[in-house]
Amino acid sequence: MSSKPHIFPFSIAYADTDAGGIVYHARYIEMAERARMLWLNNKVPTNGDVGFVIRELHMKYKKPLKLADEFVIESILTDVGNASLKVEQKFIKDGEVHAIMTGSAAYIGADLKPKKISDEMLDALEWTK
């Protein structure tokens, strides 16, 4: 089971770094969120629902990114449940993985309760079983 990867290009700005020019650890979450939202917002119609909200995150830092680095965030679905999905996002520069973030998101309806992910959404996300 998998989906087609979404690729989001990114460049590190001064505001993303600490005093040593290394990307501040919390900025990875913000960058991953931008990539995830661009990917999902362009594919998934929410039909008045709140949409996908993060339930859990796990981050593994392998090698720091630095000021002016250009890289991509590769996002892919790794699992889908009735009302949730799991996403893996890799921060890749020159073919080398610098960090991996995994997380789960719940689909929330307008009533703020979990709601079944429709087959239409799964098709839009190119999820294959």
pLDDT at 43: 73
Q: In the chain, what are the helix, strand and coil shares in percent, each to the nearest 5?
A: 20, 45, 35
The residue with greater pLDDT, 44 or 84, is: 84
pLDDT at 46: 66
Give the rounded distance of the alpha carbon of 112 from its chain centre: 21
Quick: pLDDT tens for 103-123. Answer: 999 999 999 999 999 888 888
Distance CA 66, CA 105 (A): 29
Q: Are 67 and 17 in contact (CB under 8 A)?
A: yes
SS3 assignment, position 117: coil
Supply the residues annotated as catalytic: 18
pLDDT at 84: 95
Distance CA 105, CA 22 (A): 28
pLDDT at 120: 84
pLDDT at 129: 60
